[in-house]
């Protein structure tokens, strides 16, 4: 199709691809780095943003406080942040 000067994708498919691209770009602009975090790490960042302590986050997610700390260390490494405030 391209060699003949025609579009490679039909109009419907092109619109779907562009809509998804726009949606993902908007999501990453609102939450930079969110796409690199696991769902559990995203949960922890949300709870951190709500002002919960490590103990409270652990209680909500039914995990040990040490596990919360491990997740936070990985999250900060992935996002390149230095502290809880920067992470949120």
**pLDDT by residue, tens only, the chain of 88 residues:** 556 666 665 677 767 777 776 766 665 555 566 668 999 999 999 999 999 999 999 999 999 999 999 999 999 999 999 999 889 8
Q: What is the DSSP letter of 36?
A: G
The pLDDT value given to residue 43: 95
From residue 12, give the alpha-carbon distance in Å to each of 2, 3, 5, 18, 84: 17, 21, 18, 10, 43
Beta strand segments in the chain, E = none
From residue 22, give the alpha-carbon distance in Å to each of 10, 26, 37, 54, 85: 18, 6, 20, 35, 28
């Amino acid at each position: 199709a391209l060699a003949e000067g025609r579009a490679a994708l039909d109009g419907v498919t092109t619109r779907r691809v562009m809509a998804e691209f726009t949606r993902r770009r908007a999501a990453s602009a609102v939450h930079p780095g969110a796409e690199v975090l696991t769902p559990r790490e995203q949960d922890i960042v949300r709870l951190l943003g709500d002002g919960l302590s490590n103990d409270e986050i652990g209680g909500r997610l039914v995990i040990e406080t040490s596990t919360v700390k491990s997740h936070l260390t990985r999250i900060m490494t992935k996002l390149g942040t230095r502290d809880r405030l920067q992470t949120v």
